[in-house]
Amino acid sequence: MISVRLCCPLLLAILLPGCSDSGGRHEKPTVEEARGSAHPALDAEISSPPPSSGSAAAPPVAGDAAAGAQWKPGEAFEVMGMQVKAPEGWVRQKPANRMRKAQFKLPHADNDTHDGELTVIPAFGGLEANLQRWKQQFKEVPEPLINNREVAGMKVSIVQLDGTYLYKARPMDPRETVQPRPDYRVLAAVVQAPEGQLFFKSFGPRTTMEKWQEAFTDMVDSFTPTER
């Protein structure tokens, strides 16, 4: 006969782990256990931790607008240390490449079929070197009209060229086919901005550019160094 003294400790060892104790500590299920359980709230707690306090999204840039939006009167954008007010009616576009700081469509005049375009690009090389390059973009190699002025303490040169524009959809691609477009105009402003030289270069059918010429001048007059 088995001794009672031997049986009691053995029975206690088997029964005690299954007993509930109101003062005992309950372990939280593991991730694997929770995912297989019928506790959706617990599943959500484990699989979707709360965001950290430092992960808030950055606020949008002041004066910025989505591509395709028309600019409102007085609305400005910032580029290389200065504020610029884009004319009402110009349509902001996504820049075609990384060199362009901004890009706008200038809706065409009633009798034209092509829109004008304006791009804002950091300038490389001096004014004279770029004038020679722009002249070569015309069949006639015209002499430019230049108006030098000062705006808010910054030197600005406004340049105009007219003739048959040798249009290329991708200007820097030597394989791109040239499309001669008669009676075109280039209207550009070269400005010594606080953070470097910038080109505001626009081109399009002459009548379209005449439509926007006053607006272009107003944009140049809006150049203002950004307050820091």
One pLDDT digit (tens) per residue for the chain, 228 residues: 444 444 444 444 444 444 444 444 444 444 333 334 333 332 222 233 333 334 333 323 323 445 667 767 668 899 999 999 999 999 999 999 899 999 999 999 999 999 999 999 998 888 899 999 999 999 999 999 999 999 999 999 999 999 999 999 888 888 999 999 999 999 999 999 999 999 999 999 999 999 999 999 999 999 999 986
Which pLDDT value is given to residue 67? 65
Which pLDDT value is given to residue 73? 61
Distances (CA, A) of 20 to 34, 110, 120, 185: 21, 87, 75, 89
Distances (CA, A) of 74 to 42, 84, 219: 53, 9, 10
Which pLDDT value is given to residue 150? 97
Look at residue 11 and tell me if it is in a domain.
Answer: no
Identify which of 115, 61, 60 has the alpha carbon closest to the alpha carbon of residue 93: 115
Query: How many domains is the chain built from?
Result: 1
Look at residue 50 and tell me if it is in a domain.
Answer: no
Distances (CA, A) of 183 to 107, 163, 186, 203, 209: 17, 5, 10, 11, 11
Which pLDDT value is given to residue 59? 28
Look at residue 17 and tell me if it is in a domain.
Answer: no
Q: CATH number, domain at 192? A: 3.40.1000.10
Look at residue 44 and tell me if it is in a domain.
Answer: no
Which pLDDT value is given to residue 227? 82
Q: State the residue range of the domain holding 163.
A: 76-225
Strand runs labelled E in 25-174: 76-79, 82-85, 91-93, 102-106, 116-122, 145-151, 154-167
The C-alpha atoms of residue 86 and residue 219 are separated, in whole angstroms, by 6
Look at residue 219 and tell me if it is in a domain.
Answer: yes
Look at residue 35 and tell me if it is in a domain.
Answer: no
Look at residue 36 and tell me if it is in a domain.
Answer: no
The C-alpha atoms of residue 107 and residue 204 are separated, in whole angstroms, by 10
Look at residue 56 and tell me if it is in a domain.
Answer: no
Per the structure block, which two tokens stand in for 116? 């004008």
